[in-house]
Amino acid sequence: MTISAQSVTTAPTSGIISSGIVSSGVELDVDEFGPSFGAELRGIDVASASDDEVRAIRRALIEYKVIVLRNQHLDDAAHIEFGRRLGDLTVGHPVWDSGDVPDEVYSLDSADNGFADVWHTDVTFMPRPPMGSILRPVVLPRNGGDTNWADAELAYLSLSEPVRTLIEGLRAVHDGSREFGYYLKQRRGGKGNEWDGREVTELPPVTHPVVRVHPETGRKSLFVNPGFTSHIEGVSDAESRGILDLLYAHLTKPEHIVRHRWRLGDLVLWDNRNTLHYANRDYGDNRRVMHRITLRGDEPVGPSAA
């Protein structure tokens, strides 16, 4: 199958991609991770990529949700420059101070509690979570530290119809204070970073639809995650726990997951609007440092508003 690098159709599709190439005047060799999502794009150097190649990469990101590019030995400046060619960038994180790195970089350093060993979707505790993320390793342990992604679109499609009907009108509360509230208050003195034009001084809970409609494809996906979703609005605590536990167990079924073993020079992009991810914390006292930049997103919209 040839995937054009032009704008993506808004018509809902099955979400199943057949093998082939991504093409836009140039052809990118695609090695798919599985039958539903995830792929490695081979034969491209992002530091010298043409505009057509960058458009093809972005189209591949929308179609495959998670894409890997090997042998991309970038520094922070080149990492940021590539991100800017794909879209507008946010600061690295609304709250976290990553130290002596550019503002656009979020440094996850295991020596400074930089772990991500809980299933989550990046920054859903803000009104406009990132559209996508671009991650590269800086320091890797000898082994361990793999990252897993779950396909929230496939998970939605594989739910039974009665459960899809139950959840489509629900909204969930996302609360960043559980993870970052103490840090913001105590280590940052109540002054975080600038996000969407405003300095973050507190982390009030926000609500998002449980089922999100992708703004570029029209496809539906689950938009809750154990890292930041606290509860579902309008139901009892017991009902909220029951619904969320059901969705989390379903999201993280093996058939919804791909796993990546990191090598220095890797660059991984994912669509934050229809995936969750989890970094294995299985490398003991060895150090693991990852640098991430994020693409600016929009306010999540549910089926009733789409």
* Calpha distance 306→295 (Å, rounded): 22
**What pLDDT sits at residue 25?**
62
Computed on alpha carbons and rounded to an integer, the radius of gyration of the chain in Å comes to: 19
Cα 201 to Cα 25: distance, rounded to the nearest angstrom? 47
Alpha-carbon separation of residue 240 from 38, 82, 167, 173 (angstroms):
31, 41, 11, 11
Examine the pLDDT at 8 and tell me if it is beyond 70.
Answer: no
Percent of the chain clearing pLDDT 90 (strictly above): 88
CA distance 68 to 43: 12
Q: SS3 of 276, please?
A: strand
Question: Given a cut of 50, is residue 11 above it in pLDDT?
Answer: no
CA angle, 151 then 152 then 154, to 5°: 70
In this structure, the strands spanning 257-260 and 267-271 are unpaired
Query: Please, what's the b/e burial string for 105-131 (b: 16 or more CB within 10 A of its CB; e: otherwise)?
Result: bbbbbbeeebebeebbbbbbbbbebbb
Query: What is the fold, at CATH topology level, of the domain defined by 29-295?
Result: Double-stranded beta-helix (3.60.130)
Confidence at residue 306, expressed as pLDDT on a 0 to 100 scale: 58
Residues with active-site annotation: 120, 122, 277, 292
CB contact at 8 A, 65 and 37: yes
User: How far is the C-alpha of 180 from the C-alpha of 143, rounded, in Å?
Assistant: 29
Structure confidence by residue, pLDDT tens digits, 250-266: 999 999 999 999 999 99
| pLDDT for 20 | 47
Q: Where are the alpha helices (DSSP H) in 128-167?
A: 152-157, 161-167
The answer to whether residue 203 scores a pLDDT higher than 50 is yes
The residues with which 292 forms a beta bridge, in sequence order, are 106, 135
Mean pLDDT over 184-210 rounds to 96
Residue 15 has what pLDDT? 37
Q: How far apart, in whole angstroms, are the C-alpha atoms of residue 252 and residue 23?
A: 32
pLDDT tens-digit profile of 230-244?
Answer: 999 999 999 999 999
